[in-house]
Amino acid sequence: MTKIKHNDLSCKKNTVAHVYYVPASVQYTTDRELFVLETILGHRTYPFLSRFKIHGVVGVKSCENFPAETLRYTGAFARLLNKNEQFAFLCNTSNQHLDYKSHGIVCAYRALDACAISGEYIPFMTLDGIYGEHEISRKNHRDLEADVYLAGELPNLDGVVSVCCFAPSMEMSVCGSIINLGQGLASKKGKIHQRTTSCPQVNVKKCYACRRCVRECPSHAIAIVDGHVAIDSRKCIKCGKCVEIAYYGGITYDWNATPEHYYESVARHAKGVLSVLAHKVVCVNIIMSGNGNGSSFSGAMVSLDPVAVDCATLDFCENHQLLPLESVQCGRGQVNAAHSAGVGNIKYKIQTVAY
């Protein structure tokens, strides 16, 4: 069995990061959960997880690009940590981008789904409040060039396990570890800032001037002018509250961020997360092959370095033609931006965990 040394786990800048590849076990290919528990989570990779304090409070965060499978794995991770006398729970944050909105209650339903799969109770916590109102701003933090807005509970955690799936059913985008940290652990406002560079727009055909947004805007940026809602872009902080309130589409965002803006902003938020949880984030990328529900494991990449683990996963997927080329290219755009922002190492050394 391959031994993993604790000092292998560091991810200092401009060094070579260590990534562990856990290949799928032949005898477990028909039982995915057993594979995860026995092979990825068992004693072979426990050194990663044992870096967290005993009895630590550990959030297990899944990406949402492949919900059924990722929920299954995040649930498995939480259960294993709990068996090892830590307090692990599923966690998520509020979201608002494009046509997609979710808040703590929606996330809690998804967590209940994960329990339904396993048949076991797994605690769940929303990290930025039910409606995304609980955040920390890393404004002018010494390591960060610009503002980031992160989920408010992050400083209270002893660690995070990030679980992502790379599956052929993903058509255009890859939600790797960098995105799962940078976007997934940003507050709702952080996510909005990643997806747009402008403040919300009023659609006069759908706005009934009910004035609720005027009352609830935290920065008093909204007024009624000539009978219509008007937003003062100099005061707007892009918190998304008015968009949430305008149920019928009276106020909407123009999701105009370019891929470069998005990658750079996600990278900045990922760096913010790592500055809050230094050396307390384990990234696990689960690689699938085949299609949709018929997917099967190809293995998993594990590292403390989100850039290296995404890079290694993309290289693996490209070499084995497991993802569409567009997905790999999107992933590379994110990896390069995160590397430039100093989130982690693009150079990695891969070590196969034998069994």
Which residue ranges make up the site for ligand SF4 (CB under 6 A)? 199-200, 217-219, 221-222, 231, 236-242
CA distances from 12 to 45, 156, 274, 311, 332 (A): 20, 24, 12, 16, 21
**What's the chain's Rg over C-alpha atoms?**
21
- Helices (H), ranges, the chain: 32-35, 46-49, 67-83, 104-118, 177-182, 188-195, 212-216, 241-245, 259-276, 306-319, 325-340
Compute the least distance from the CB of residue 238 to ligand SF4, in Å: 5
Minimum Å distance from CB 133 to ligand SF4? 11
Cβ nearer to ligand SF4, comparing 87 with 255:
255
Q: What is the smallest separation between the CB atom of 138 and ligand SF4, expressed in angstroms?
A: 19
Place of tokens 């967290």: 52
As measured in angstroms, the least distance from the Cβ of 250 to ligand SF4 is 11
41: three-class secondary structure by DSSP = coil
Nearer to ligand SF4, 146 or 230 (CB): 230
Nearer to ligand SF4, 200 or 272 (CB): 200
Give least dist CB 222 to ligand SF4, A. 5
Shortest Å, Cβ 216 to ligand SF4: 7
Considering the complex, state which of residue 201 and residue 351 has its C-beta at the smaller distance from ligand SF4. 201
Cβ-based neighbours of 318, under 8 Å, separated by 6 or more: 328
- Of 107 and 239, nearer to ligand SF4 (C-beta) is 239
Distance in angstroms (rounded) separating the CA atoms of residues 250 and 242: 9
CA atoms within 13 A on the CB side of 77: 32
138 or 238: whose CB is closer to ligand SF4? 238
Q: Do residues 265 and 193 make contact, with C-beta atoms less than 8 angstroms apart?
A: yes
